[in-house]
Amino acid sequence: MPQTCDVLLSTTPPAYIDRSAVTRLGLIALATDLTTERDAAHLIPQDRAALHVARVAFENPTTPDNLRRMLPRLTDAANLLIPDEPLAAIYYACTSASIAIGDTTVSEAVGAARPGVPVVTPTSGALAAMAALGVGPIALFTPYLPETTEPMVGFFDQNGHRVMRAHCLGLEDDRDMARLTPETIIDAALAADHPDAEALFLSCTAMPALGVIDALEAQLGKPVLSSNLAGLWQVLRVSGLAPSGTAPGRLFRHHRTEAL
């Protein structure tokens, strides 16, 4: 059995793929996240983009105080995203923490490690998506505790999207949120809708809502947005990427039309 290896000598130097051939995207996911990478695989075009993931330490429950404890860890997490390689955008995948910490503060913490790279949160993506669709008042469904849902109602109200009705499931562990069945999500979402709401927002990157978007839109006759749908839509948008052909919902149909 050989103990050493010989370096291959050649007059032709090794060839490398051009850095610009692949658009590289960063994802900062919670240590407990079971859903976001799978959602990203449905939305991000695999032939043109690559997603690189760093995890940030988090321990349940998902209370506002506990979510805010992630802030000092965000810069270190961003530093782990393929150092020295260019990124087109970074997605921080936690809706409730984006509210508890604040989008601007999240962007500053991530930007300290990757200056100049656009930072997207589910909430900034939701606001951009609602603006693109011309949505005013909304209905809101979350799997969270009431104390975690209430600040989200205030966030949308303050940003010009009056919340006509808000329902929550009262869960405190995001791993339980990730195991909700499609039937549970659909039933709760339909109960949360309001006739005066122009869209329905399903909050939580952990909740597997992507697969029920088309069914809910067919029943409600209005746009339905989930955290990862809106957040990853905005990531693709700021990166100049067209979505995968498997992307559901009115938002991505609008994206394709906008790109024509």
How far apart, in Å, do the first and last CA atoms of the chain sit? 59
pLDDT over 60 (residue 169): yes
- Residues 152 and 164 reside in one and the same domain: yes
In a domain, 257, yes or no: no
pLDDT over 90 (residue 222): yes
Domain range for residue 180?
124-227
7 Cα distance to chain centroid: 44
In a domain, 42, yes or no: yes
In a domain, 15, yes or no: no
CB 121 within 8 A of CB 231: yes
In a domain, 157, yes or no: yes
- Residues 223 and 165 reside in one and the same domain: yes
- Residues 111 and 169 reside in one and the same domain: no
pLDDT over 50 (residue 247): yes
In a domain, 1, yes or no: no
In a domain, 201, yes or no: yes
CB 224 within 8 A of CB 158: no
- Residues 186 and 135 reside in one and the same domain: yes
> What whole-number distance in Å separates Cα of residue 224 and Cα of residue 216?
7
> What whole-number distance in Å separates Cα of residue 142 and Cα of residue 192?
9
Q: 3-class SS at 56?
A: strand
> What whole-number distance in Å separates Cα of residue 41 and Cα of residue 156?
28
| R_g (Cα) of the chain, nearest Å | 20
- Residues 114 and 128 reside in one and the same domain: no
pLDDT over 80 (residue 181): yes
- Residues 35 and 130 reside in one and the same domain: no
- Residues 149 and 110 reside in one and the same domain: no
- Residues 88 and 183 reside in one and the same domain: no
- Residues 28 and 119 reside in one and the same domain: yes
pLDDT over 80 (residue 12): no
In a domain, 142, yes or no: yes
Position 255 confidence tier, pLDDT thresholds 50, 70, 90: low
- Residues 119 and 131 reside in one and the same domain: no
In a domain, 29, yes or no: yes
State the alpha helices, DSSP H only, in 6-48.
36-43
| Max CA pair span of the chain | 75
Under DSSP, the state recorded for 72 is G
- Residues 132 and 222 reside in one and the same domain: yes
Task: Give the lowest-confidence range in 155-159, 212-216, 231-235, 253-257.
Answer: 253-257
* CATH classification at residue 40: 3.40.50.12500
Single out the residue of 157, 104, 93, 165 nearest to residue 130, CA to CA: 157
pLDDT of residue 254: 76
- Residues 82 and 142 reside in one and the same domain: no
Number of domains observed in the structure of the chain: 2
pLDDT over 60 (residue 57): yes
Residue with tokens 């060839």: 15
- pLDDT higher for 257 or 162? 162
Find the helix or strand (DSSP H, E) in which 51 lies.
Answer: strand 49-56
